[in-house]
């Protein structure tokens, strides 16, 4: 409920929710991202947050085709990717990594794009298997998009048909090296 | 209570493939259900028309990746029917051995996903470990873990590697001991039993009319198994039982699959004992005659069929694939109506869906 | 609790030996010749061209106007309870729709081939006779463009709903 009489410092508490969000965006963005406070905080905490991010990469529970079986097996006792901190999560809002592991058909393209948009920053995409890299054995089919990087930016490509679980773990380790080298701050993104 | 439609999918934690289930719920009870498939459609039937006959074998593998050997064997059998090619006997025995091993691997994959979905995470871990034993055998034989590219038109690609028989018998005896442990593990879990017994009843008449085949049909009491009723390859020489169950619920489907794994072990032992010596492959003609070829197999999920039309050249004119899960998923509304939303996981998981073969 | 459910399971397994009933049918143990004779008597002009391809496998040609009646006769009188597959093949001058129908108790497979002209690819739907035909007919419509009269929900199933082509036709060059 908007209380027009209250013009004091408690102004923020009297907003509609949409206006509150806009106020948050302007003020907090201003403090954190555009001012020296944000860069200072980043400078202090960058390495710690990077270490935490790269050692707990959660990928989305989204299996398309054969490589999805290898993705499931990578959590099994023999290959055990959980010792690297890699755990599947069911909701895209909780994930860092989108693992595309099969051919993307034209019916699936908007679904995948929407899932990618729903993931919060920072996020990475791994294309696993030949079908996600370039269409695979179905590259000349009328209903397969030849490669997932036609509509989603991809960071790591894992070849194989299907890619072995060890190759998947190797891909994740290379992603960890990439995150370590880039050293982006979580607040400012630089 | 207001009724509303809920979308379960295409991205959902049920690891049974990429499909969408729209359920109309009244509170928690399901009133209507509409499955939507087609997110994995790759146009394999059209791709086959531009490739020569041997080039299609890897494509047939990728039809159903859970049990890929069955589909490439089915394709080779259909082409052999079209070309009138006789397969050597040793190759037939190797085919039966590998098909039964593939059946065990496929059922273990189903059990792992099913147990994981129902909350029994320890079932996932144990069955995956057993599956690795058989995947090691496959790796020694064919070189791959999931899509093997092993059968050829006129036999199999190559002979068994050295010591394969010894290793297989060791794996089978190890696995038979484990199977008993799994029965105790799953049936001793109250939650697993409560979520399965009495859930998802599919009556016999409905199952037959809707075209459902495979373990789901046998769990509804119909004793129909293509390996016994229309034997292909060398199944006539094998001595095994067809497993059926009287209750038509999820527990019956689970029970049928567990017993089928046991029967597969027996078939594998007999195949190893009876295997003759000889060639494993003959050269098949390059061009197919004008005509049609038909083959049927008992896939771990049901009745798979392939109908190939040849036109005298070295490429097929038309390849039509019958997928058992395509028809079973169309029967899903009948099974789901009346149960709660939380039962969807148990019911659809019990049907053992592999969407790769549904969408082709 | 566990004993109760294990006892239920045991009861299910022990009953199966006595209770192996298959679906009911009026004619018992029809071998291929009896099947051919029964069809020839019931549909003399509609079903022709009988060939016995292998043991337990009969092929016949069917006139497309009699599909509904013939299929109902097959299911009710001759015990063909299971429709295995509906395929659609396009030739230069015609479309052919092939029905593979199985009888569980008689262990027979019947292949019925129907022809339609190129400019009017439509047949009657059998989805009211066998429920399993529902999605198979939708797939034939989606990929090949065959219209099934009387189908409750003839929509695209594998391709997106707004797709305009029928990809398996020979004039579609993906």
Range list of β-strands (E), B153-237: 155-156
pLDDT in tens, B28-37: 888 888 888 8
C29 assigned to some structural domain: yes
Whether residues A141 and B47 touch (CB distance < 8 A) is answered with yes
Whether residues B66 and A60 touch (CB distance < 8 A) is answered with no
Residue C14 has a pLDDT of 40
Cα distance between residue C115 and residue C120, in whole Å: 10
Q: Residue C123: beta bridge partners?
A: C148
Nearest Cα of chain B lies from the Cα of A135 at a distance, in angstroms, of: 10
- Short-list C60, C136, C145, CA closest to C95: C145
CB-based contact, A138 to chain B, within 8 Å: yes
Whether residues C167 and A142 touch (CB distance < 8 A) is answered with yes
Specify whether the CB–CB gap between A128 and A170 falls below 8 A.
Answer: no
Chains that touch C (3 or more CB pairs under 8 A): A, B
DSSP C160: -
Nearest Cα of chain C lies from the Cα of B159 at a distance, in angstroms, of: 31
| C-alpha distance from residue B202 to each of A153, B158, B195, C16 (Å) | 46, 43, 16, 17
Cα distance between residue B228 and residue B240, in whole Å: 9
Cα distance between residue B61 and residue C128, in whole Å: 34
C52 assigned to some structural domain: yes
DSSP A155: S
User: Side by side, which strands form the sheet with C108-117?
Assistant: C47-54, C57-62, C108-117, C94-103, C82-90
- Consecutive H or E run containing B309: strand B302-311
Residue B101 has pLDDT above 90, yes or no: yes
A67, two tokens: 């490589």
Domain count, chain B: 1
Top-confidence range, A49-58, A72-81, B97-106: B97-106
Specify whether the CB–CB gap between B98 and B70 falls below 8 A.
Answer: no
Q: Residue B322: beta bridge partners?
A: B305
Whether residues B11 and A144 touch (CB distance < 8 A) is answered with no
Instruction: Tell me how far apart the terminal alpha carbons of chain B are, to the nearest angstrom.
Output: 40
CA dihedral angle for residue A76, residue A79, residue A80, residue A84, rounded to 10 degrees: -150
pTM score of the predicted model: 0.88
Residue A14 has a pLDDT of 65
- CATH of residue B101's domain is 1.10.645.10
Domain count, chain C: 1
CB-based contact, C91 to chain A, within 8 Å: no
Residues of chain A contacting residue B147, judged by C-beta atoms under 8 Å apart: 66, 161-162
DSSP B275: P
Cβ neighbors of A147 (< 8 A, separation 6 or more) are A127, A132, A133, A134, A135
C118, two tokens: 């190129």
- Short-list B334, B305, B307, CA closest to B35: B334
Residue B105 has pLDDT above 90, yes or no: yes
Question: pLDDT tens digits, chain C, 174 residues: what are they?
Answer: 444 444 444 444 444 333 333 333 344 445 777 777 777 777 777 777 777 777 778 888 888 888 888 888 888 888 888 888 999 998 888 888 999 988 887 788 888 888 888 888 888 888 888 888 889 999 999 888 888 888 888 888 888 888 888 888 888 876
pLDDT band at A11 (very low <50, low <70, confident <90, very high): low
| C-alpha distance from residue C38 to each of C30, C32, C43, C74 (Å) | 10, 10, 9, 10
* Smallest CA–CA distance from A105 into chain C, residue: C159
Domains in chain A: ranges and CATH: 58-172 (3.40.50.12280)
- How many residues in total does chain C contain? 174
Q: φ, ψ for residue B118 (rounded to 5)?
A: -80, 0
Whether residues B43 and A144 touch (CB distance < 8 A) is answered with yes
Residue C69 has a pLDDT of 85
Residue C30 has a pLDDT of 54
Top-confidence range, A16-25, B165-174, B185-194: B165-174
Chains that touch A (3 or more CB pairs under 8 A): B, C
DSSP B277: P
Residue B113 has pLDDT above 70, yes or no: yes
Residue A1 has a pLDDT of 44
- Short-list B62, B57, B60, B11, CA closest to A67: B62
pLDDT band at A185 (very low <50, low <70, confident <90, very high): low
Nearest Cα of chain C lies from the Cα of B252 at a distance, in angstroms, of: 8
Cα distance between residue B186 and residue B177, in whole Å: 15
Cα distance between residue C7 and residue A42, in whole Å: 64
C58, two tokens: 């009969």
CA dihedral angle for residue C4, residue C6, residue C10, residue C16, rounded to 10 degrees: 100
- The 10 Å Cβ neighbour count of residue B241 is 13
Domain extent at residue B321: 52-334+342-351
Specify whether the CB–CB gap between B69 and B102 falls below 8 A.
Answer: yes
B78 assigned to some structural domain: yes
Specify whether the CB–CB gap between B117 and B123 falls below 8 A.
Answer: no
Q: Residue C103: beta bridge partners?
A: C108
Residue A26 has pLDDT above 70, yes or no: yes
Residue B360 has pLDDT above 90, yes or no: no
Residues of chain A contacting residue B68, judged by C-beta atoms under 8 Å apart: 66
Residue B247 has pLDDT above 50, yes or no: yes
- The 10 Å Cβ neighbour count of residue B325 is 30
Cα distance between residue A63 and residue B345, in whole Å: 16
- CATH of residue C125's domain is 3.30.460.80
Residue A61 has pLDDT above 70, yes or no: yes
B170, two tokens: 């060791």
Dihedral class, residue A88 (left if φ above 0, else alpha if ψ from -120 to 50, else beta): beta
Q: Residue B293: beta bridge partners?
A: B308
Domain extent at residue C111: 25-149
Q: Are strands C108-117 and C57-62 parallel, antiparallel or unpaired?
A: parallel
Alpha carbon A43 to chain centroid, angstroms: 23
Cα distance between residue A115 and residue A129, in whole Å: 19
């Amino acid at each position: 409920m908007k209380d027009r009489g209250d013009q004091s410092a408690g102004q923020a508490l009297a907003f509609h929710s949409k206006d509150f969000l806009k106020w948050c965006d302007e003020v907090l963005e201003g403090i954190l991202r555009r001012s020296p406070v944000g860069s200072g905080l980043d400078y202090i905490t960058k390495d710690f947050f990077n270490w935490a991010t790269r050692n707990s990469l959660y990928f989305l529970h989204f299996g398309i085709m054969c490589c999805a079986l290898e993705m499931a097996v990578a959590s099994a006792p023999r290959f055990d990717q959980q010792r690297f901190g890699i755990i599947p999560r069911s909701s895209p809002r909780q994930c860092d990594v989108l693992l595309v592991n099969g051919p993307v058909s034209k019916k699936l393209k908007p679904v995948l794009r929407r899932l990618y948009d729903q993931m919060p920053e920072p996020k990475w995409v791994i294309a696993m298997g030949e079908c996600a890299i370039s269409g695979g054995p179905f590259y000349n089919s009328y209903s397969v998009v030849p490669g997932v990087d036609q509509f989603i930016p991809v960071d790591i490509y894992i070849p194989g048909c299907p890619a072995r679980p060890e190759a998947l773990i190797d891909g994740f380790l290379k992603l960890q090296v990439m995150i370590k080298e880039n050293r982006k701050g979580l607040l400012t993104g630089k | 209570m207001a009724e509303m439609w809920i979308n379960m999918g295409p991205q959902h934690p049920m690891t049974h493939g990429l499909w969408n289930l729209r359920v109309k719920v009244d509170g928690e009870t399901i009133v209507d259900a509409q499955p939507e498939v087609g997110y994995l459609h790759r146009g394999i039937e059209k791709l086959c028309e531009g490739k020569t006959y041997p080039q299609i074998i890897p494509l047939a593998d990728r039809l159903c990746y859970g049990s890929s050997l069955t589909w490439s064997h089915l394709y080779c059998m259909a082409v052999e029917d079209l070309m009138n090619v006789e397969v050597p006997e040793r190759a037939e025995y190797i085919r039966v051995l590998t098909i039964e091993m593939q059946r065990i691997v496929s059922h273990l994959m189903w059990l792992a996903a099913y147990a994981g979905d129902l909350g029994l995470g320890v079932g996932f871990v144990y069955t995956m470990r057993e599956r690795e034993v058989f995947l090691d055998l496959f790796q020694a034989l064919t070189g791959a873990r999931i899509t093997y590219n092993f059968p050829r038109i006129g036999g199999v690609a190559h002979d068994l590697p050295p010591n394969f028989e010894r290793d297989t018998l060791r794996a089978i005896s190890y696995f038979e001991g484990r199977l008993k442990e799994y029965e105790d593990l799953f049936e001793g879990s109250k939650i697993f039993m409560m979520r399965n017994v009495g859930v998802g009843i599919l009556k016999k008449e409905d199952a037959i009319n809707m075209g459902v085949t495979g373990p789901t049909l046998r769990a509804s009491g119909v004793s129909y198994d293509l390996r016994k009723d229309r034997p292909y390859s060398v199944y006539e020489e094998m001595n095994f039982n067809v497993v059926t169950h009287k209750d038509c619920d999820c527990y019956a489907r689970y029970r049928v699959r567990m017993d089928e794994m046991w029967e597969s072990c027996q078939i594998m032992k007999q195949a190893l004992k009876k295997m003759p010596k000889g060639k494993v492959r003959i050269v098949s003609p390059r061009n197919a005659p004008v005509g049609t070829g038909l083959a049927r197999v008992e896939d771990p999920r049901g009745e798979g069929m392939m109908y190939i039309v040849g036109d005298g050249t070295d490429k097929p004119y038309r390849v039509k694939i019958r997928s058992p899960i395509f028809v079973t998923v169309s029967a899903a509304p009948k099974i789901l109506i009346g149960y709660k939303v939380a039962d969807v996981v148990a019911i659809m998981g019990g049907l053992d869906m592999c969407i790769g073969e549904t969408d082709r | 609790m566990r004993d109760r459910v294990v006892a239920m399971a045991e009861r299910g397994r022990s009953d199966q030996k006595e209770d192996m009933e298959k679906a009911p049918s009026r004619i018992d143990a029809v071998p291929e010749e009896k099947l051919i004779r029964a069809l020839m008597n019931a549909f003399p002009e509609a079903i022709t061209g009988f060939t016995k391809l292998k043991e337990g496998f009969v092929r016949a040609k069917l006139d497309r106007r009699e599909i509904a009646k013939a299929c109902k006769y097959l299911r009710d009188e001759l015990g063909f309870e299971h429709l295995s597959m509906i395929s659609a093949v396009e030739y230069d001058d015609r479309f052919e729709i092939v029905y593979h129908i199985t009888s569980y108790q008689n262990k027979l497979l019947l292949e019925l081939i129907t022809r339609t002209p190129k400019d009017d690819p439509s047949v009657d739907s059998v989805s009211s006779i066998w429920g399993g035909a529902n999605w198979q007919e939708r797939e034939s419509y989606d990929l090949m463009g065959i219209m099934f009269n009387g189908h409750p929900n003839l929509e695209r199933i594998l391709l997106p709903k707004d797709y305009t082509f029928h990809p398996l036709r020979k004039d579609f060059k993906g």
